[in-house]
Structures are given as structure tokens and as C-alpha cells.
Amino acid sequence: MKAWVLAQKDLRVYFRDRIAVLLGIGLPLVLCTVFAGAMGAIGSHDSVGRIELVIEDADRSAASRELVAELEKSKGLELDVLAADSKDTARGRVAEGDAPAGILVGAGFSAALADGGDLPLTLYRDPAKSIEQQILAGNLIPAFLGALGEGVGKRMSAKVLETLDFPMIGRERAQAILDASWTNMESLVQSIEDQGGLAADDDGSADEVTQADAGSGEDAGAGGFDFASGVAEILGIQVEDVTGGEEHAQAEKRGMQANSVAGMAVMMLLFGLIHCGGTLLDEQESGTLDRLRLAPGATGAILGGKFLFTWVVGAIQLLILFLFARLVFDTPIFRAPLALFVLSTATAAAVTGFGVLFAVVSRSRKQLEGLSTIVVLSMSALGGSWWPLAITPDWYQKLGHFTLNAWAMDGFQGIFWYGKDLSGILPEIGVLSGIALATSLLAWRLWERRLRV
Amino acid sequence: MTTREPRATVIEARALVRRFGERVAVDTLDLELRSGECLGLLGPNGAGKSTTVRILATLLAPTSGTVRVLGLDPVTEGERLRARIGVVPQELALYEHLSARENLEFFASLQGLSGTLLSDALAQGLALSGLAERANDRVKTFSGGMKRRLNVAVALAHGPELVFLDEPTVGIDPQSRERIFEMVESLRARGVTMIYTSHQLGEVERLCDRILILDRGRKVAEGSLAELQRHPEVHRRGGASLRFAAGGEAARARALLAERDIACELEDDAPDLERIFLDLTGRALRDREDA
């Protein structure tokens, strides 16, 4: 009975701060929406898991164009075909972190296809983006089958027999049977297409195949089996990891660690610094704020002081996290120290701006906690701290870049993974500084209004 | 209670009004305070005492009316005024995780003190508040009385000309209260002008030259204790008022009246401040929160 009386009291107290209650109720709703959006449950799901693939066509033949056209049909891929006169290369674009993968269709592709020789195809990939690689691999199979048809099918059959270590004595016969099957299948597909049957399946089943493949690939990737390499090998594509060293598994591990360090650094920084900004509310509740206001010229200095304090704490937090990452994960924090220093400073400033702004708009600690939890978790999910943006719909990816998490993560990954220096991360530093400036100015205006006597 | 020769005007407020929405916290208040005076601001909860202090101390703008403090407008010239005033808030506005010395040093340096001035102010503040021996201890380890003393010392560290003390002795032991009285009396001796708000009427009687009683935002009465004792509203609660030439006469009269079964209230002396206060503000409860 007394427990119920106590509970009633707590319920009364809890529901008194209506804004805090609304924020508390709003949190799961907002997070639900963000999660559903990431998984493609909002709007059209056509663009979910679309992987950017850079195409460099050095062959410029009808066959290579047909391959590109088939790849373009794939719903899981977003092609970026380099122009003939482009100075960019597929390898360079992937190495810069602009795309998770690229394919070079080498000169002589058409001839090799005709005479059955080795195809001059190279897949450049970023091992840090392992989930993207699995989705890509799942999408390459139908595209290559569509473009190269029977030819690639027969290559795949030969590869399968080789992989199975099929006895040489019967291999020629087995190959002939499989080749005939491919020819029959080609005819069957053609006749179905002629009747318009396959077109009806395009939106649904084809997608399911690629997504299912991607899903199994993710599991396999985590277990050490390189699904993407396996698929590329069967399709007769050379694979090259453009960054992270020669050993793929190690590179993949280091890349994922770099991602995690960057993602968690920003999210935890947001949580920590919003708490620091909240000391402004503590000053108000304890009465010291009035005492501070009574000091000459202190009105502006109060907010400036909170900004500096929060900024310094943020910088220390980042420093400790990066030193930890260096010791435990071997994250290359000393690769570009100036770039890392400037980016960390800009990130801490942007996060500080948010922290101080939230503290100024909140009227109580409870409100601040509700507001900051919603915003930090949403921004982290939208900005890529929790999962790669590449597996989310296009609109989600675009929205993600309205968060400071995405820009900060791009910057940190640029340094840790792609070996960029200060000049390479200037856009990220610019955006983060802009966020810091905008949020601080807004906080300043609201603060002035609030303290107006 | 002493009476001082009035000097230059330090505070002058005319028809001061402060509204919070529909509620009028301060209602057409006129107030004047001269240099070196200590004005006791009395009133029940919600009378408008703290609001008045906040207006005079630059923390709140009046809705209407004019006010000059030390010759300056608290709204437009607040920055200049703040260096010359000290405010002892009702709350313990201290940093619990800092030591007494660190609190004093921080607030004094915000007021622009540095070097020798700052170290002198620290030594003086710690001595005055009786906290010199605990100067380096964190405030969170202090008793309520120690915190209250430090709360006062912090407001005085920069040597203000005008000090507002808003219920500075709430909830403390008699020894600490006595020390705070000594701090206030030393200010009076130095000619510092003060406004002192309190519910402890004895404190006001002891420390203040003049008393202003507020009720529902309005001035009910103002003057020295002697003047308030002669206020027409005092002793006019029905019935007769008797004065006895010698002490003990009231007891005899009470006994005589009791023999004849006549109900009455008889006092030996002139009404004290508590009586004056209740006569002027009434006995009804004031549950409105003090603004």
C-alpha cells in the first residue's frame, strides 16, 4: 500500500514537467522513425542499400557499354561512370573514400570476351566498407549474367568445378553438361522475357535476391569468409583492396575499428558535452547564476565561459579516446597530427555549440536530458554512428549529412583510413565550424533574450 | 536601534510597478534610502520584497515607474552599477565543490579584484566570516551556518557601497546569526548603505534605522520603530488601549478584570515590531509565493 502511495507521488512529480514528459514520450517515437527510415520502411524502398560503384571503362566497346548498362539496371547499385576524358580513376576515387568500390573495364575486354580469354576486369574496393562489399557482390552476379550471359555462366561452371576439385577425368564431360544447361537457361530466360514475364518480377524478386545475398554475405564477412572476393573470382574479376594493406582480413578489421572509433567518438562527445552545457542550468537552480550576473560585464562572459569549458572538456575527451584507440586498435592517430588537431577542435566546437544551445533552450535538467537524448541518438543514427549510411535509402543518406556526426565521421575516417591531410578534410572542417558558429550564435541570441531584465 | 543623520540619496524609486502576467508583485511603490542608512524591508511571503530587491539590484526591470540607484538607472546603466553593489541572496549561491577561499576568490575576481586587493579581500572575508581555519575545505563539508556566513562574505568581498541582504540568516544557529549581525554592524560602522529583508523581526529591530512594511506589493507603513509604534493602524483592533505608568500594573489590572469575568488583552510595554507587523499586515495566512 505504501509502495503505491510512493508510486503515486513519483507519478505526480513526473507528470508535472509536461515538456519533459513529452520529450520522454517522443524519444521512442523519434527513434522508431529513424530506425524504420534506415531500414527502408518509410517511403519507397527502391534505394535501400544502394551502393555507389565507380565505373572506369577503358575499353569503350559495345560489350563494355552493355556491361555498364546491365550494372545500371541493378537496383542495388548507384553507378558513377567516369567520362572518357576524366582525370579521375576508379581506383583513385575509392582510395579517396568517395565510393566503397569501383570497377575498371580494361582495354581488350571485348576481345577477351570474344575469344574466351581472361577478362581485364578489376574490382577496386575499400575493405573498411565490408557491408557495402557484400551488397555489391550480391548485385554483381545478376548484372554480369545479364551482360555476359552464357559466356560468364560457362566461366562460372568451370570455376565451380575447379573449386570442387572435380576429378579431371570427368571434368570435361561435366563442363559440357553444365554449358548445355547454361545455354538452355539462356533460351528459357529469353522466351520468358519475350512474354514480359521477367519484367513483372523486376521490382520484387530481383531485389530480394540481392538483399538476401547481401545479408548472407554480411554474416559471412563477419566470420572471415570473403563473400565479395569469392563472387568476383567466380565472375573472373581481379580484386584489389586500395587501402589498409595487403591482407584483406586485417585491413577489414582495421577499417571497421577506424569507423567505430570515429562514430563512437562523436556520439559520446555529444552526450558528454550536453551534460557540460547543462551546468548552466545547475547555476540557475543553485542561484549562482544571479550572482554571476551581478558581476560587471558578465552577461556575455557567462555563456562564453560555458562554451570554453565545454570545448576544453570535449578536446580532452577526444584526446583520451584517440590515445586509447591508438593503444588498443592501433588507429593511426599520428598520421596527420595537424589535421587531427584541427578536425578535433572543430568537432568539439560544433558539439559544444549544440550543448550550449540545448542548455539555453531547456528550462530544467529533465528537459535537457529528454531533448539531448532525442537529438543525440537521432543524429547519431542519421549520421552513420550506428550503421553505414550506404545501407540506408537515398533520402536517409542525404538527411544524414545535415548532422554533424556524418561530417565529423567523414573527417576522422579521412585521416585514419584514407590517409588524408589537412587539405583533404577542409570541407568537413568548414561545415563543422559553420555548425559551431550557427549554434553558438543562436544560443547567444536566446541567452541575451532570456537574461534581458 | 539607532537613528542616523540623513545624507545623500542612494536609492530613489517612484511609483514602481512590476507585474508577472496578471499578478502585480510590486504596486506603485515609493522608496527612498539615504547614504549610510540601513532599511529593513518587512512583509509577509509574497509581499514583493525580493522582487523589489531584484529590481534595485539590476536583475529585473520594473514594468513601470522610475528608479535611480547610486545615481544610476539599474536598467540602462546596470553594468556600471553592478560594480558598486553587493547582493546576499536568499539561496546559498555558492559552489559546493570549491573551497571557501576558491569561492571568495572566484566571485571577487569576477568583480575585477586582483593582486593585493584580491588577497586582502580574501583575508578580510575569511576573517569576517570566521572561516579562516576552514578556508581550504570544500563548501559541501560546511554546516548551514558556515555556508550562510560565506554567502554574506562573498557579496561583500569587493567592498560595495550599497548592500542588499535578502533574508541572510534563514535556518542557522544563534552563533552564526550573531556573526552575521556583526558583519552587518561592521558595514554600518563603515557607512555602507543597506537594505535588509527578513522575517526575523528582532533582527530588523536590532540592525535597521528605518523599516518599510510591504503587503501585497504595496507600502503599508514606513518609519523608525518609534514612528511605527505610533502608527494609527496599530492598537486599533477594537476595544480600548491602556497605558500603565509603572511595570506590573498590567498584571494587577488583568487579575481585577478576570475576577469580573471580563475578557481582555493587556500589555505592559509599547507594541513590539511583531505586534506592529501583524497589526499592519493582518493575521490572515499569505500562501502566495514570494516573487
Q: Which residue has the higher pLDDT, A22 or B39?
A: B39
**Helix locations, A278-403, DSSP H:** 279-286, 288-293, 298-329, 337-361, 365-383, 394-400
Grid cell digits, residue A292 = 554571476
Nearest to A418 by CA among A122, A82, A128, A132: A128
Find the residue in A nearest to B55 (Cα): A453
Average pLDDT along chain A, 453 residues, taken 10 residues at a time: 78 79 76 70 61 91 88 85 89 89 90 81 86 81 74 71 74 75 67 56 42 39 56 78 73 75 81 80 90 86 88 87 86 90 93 90 86 86 79 79 88 88 94 95 90 68
With CB atoms and an 8 Å threshold, state whether A453 touches B75: yes
Tell me if A98 sits within 8 A of A54, measured CB to CB.
Answer: yes
Task: Give per-residue pLDDT as tens, B74-117.
Answer: 999 998 999 999 999 988 999 999 999 999 999 999 999 999 99
Q: Does B236 touch chain A (CB under 8 A)?
A: no
| Contact status of B61 with chain A (Cβ, < 8 Å) | yes
The residue that leads in pLDDT, A42 or B147, is: B147
| DSSP secondary structure letters along A124-183 | EE-TT-HHHHHHHHHHHHHHHHHHHHHHHHHHHHHHHHHHTT--HHHHHHHHHHHHHHHH
Q: What is the pLDDT of residue B51?
A: 93
Q: Chain A within 8 Å of B250 (Cβ-Cβ)?
A: no
Give me the pLDDT at residue A149, please. 67
Q: What was the pLDDT predicted at B162?
A: 96
Residue pairs between chains A and B whose CB atoms are closer than 8 Å: 50
Instruction: Give the strand pairing for B162-166 and B210-215.
Output: unpaired
pLDDT band at B289 (very low <50, low <70, confident <90, very high): very low
What is the Cα–Cα distance from B198 to A318, expressed in whole angstroms? 50
In this complex, which of B61, B93, B155 lies closest to A288 when CB atoms are compared?
Answer: B93
Query: Looking at chain A, which residue has its C-alpha nearest residue B79?
Result: A296
Give contacts of B 95-154 with A, CB under 8 A.
95, 107, 110-112, 154
pLDDT at A144: 79
B80 touches chain A (CB under 8 A): yes
ipTM over 0.95: no
- Average pLDDT of every residue of chain B: 86
Query: Would you place residue B275 in the very low, low, confident or very high pLDDT band (cuts 50, 70, 90)?
Result: confident
What per-residue confidence (pLDDT) applies to A199? 45
* B243-247 long-range contacts, CB within 8 A, separation 24+: B244/B268
CA neighbor of B26 nearest in space, from B216, B214, B217: B217
Q: Do B79 and A292 touch (CB under 8 A)?
A: no
Helix (H, G, I), strand (E, B) or coil at A402: coil
Backbone phi, psi, residue B258, to 5°: -65, -40
Q: With beta carbons under 8 A apart, name residues in chain B contacting A295.
A: 82, 107, 110-111
CA proximity to A235, closest of A145, A347, A117: A145
**Are A294 and B79 a contacting pair at CB < 8 A?**
no
d(Cα A317, Cα A275) in Å, to the nearest integer? Answer: 13
User: Which residues of chain B have a CB within 8 Å of the CB of A294?
Assistant: 57-59, 82, 85, 87
Cα A138 to Cα B31: distance, rounded to the nearest angstrom: 84
Cα nearest neighbour of B74 on chain A = A453
Residue pair A325/A333 in contact by the 8 Å Cβ criterion = yes
Judged against a pLDDT cut of 90, whether residue B266 lies above it is answered with no
pTM of the model: 0.71
Beta carbons of A138 and A213 less than 8 angstroms apart: yes
Contacts of B49 (CB under 8 A, 6+ apart): B41, B42, B43, B166, B197, B214, B290
Which of A287, A295, A452 is opposite residue B93, by nearest beta carbon? A287
Does the pLDDT value for residue B261 go beyond 90? no
Any bridge partners for residue B187, and if so which? none
Tell me which residue of B10, B153, B24 sits closest to B74, measured CA to CA: B10
Question: Which ranges of B129-270 does DSSP label H, i.e. alpha helix?
Answer: 144-156, 174-189, 201-207, 225-229, 249-259
Which pLDDT does position B242 carry in this prediction?
64
What's the CA angle centered on A439, arms A438 and A444, to 5 degrees? 100
Report the distance separating Cα B53 and Cα B56, nearest Å.
Answer: 5
CA distance A101 to A241: 9
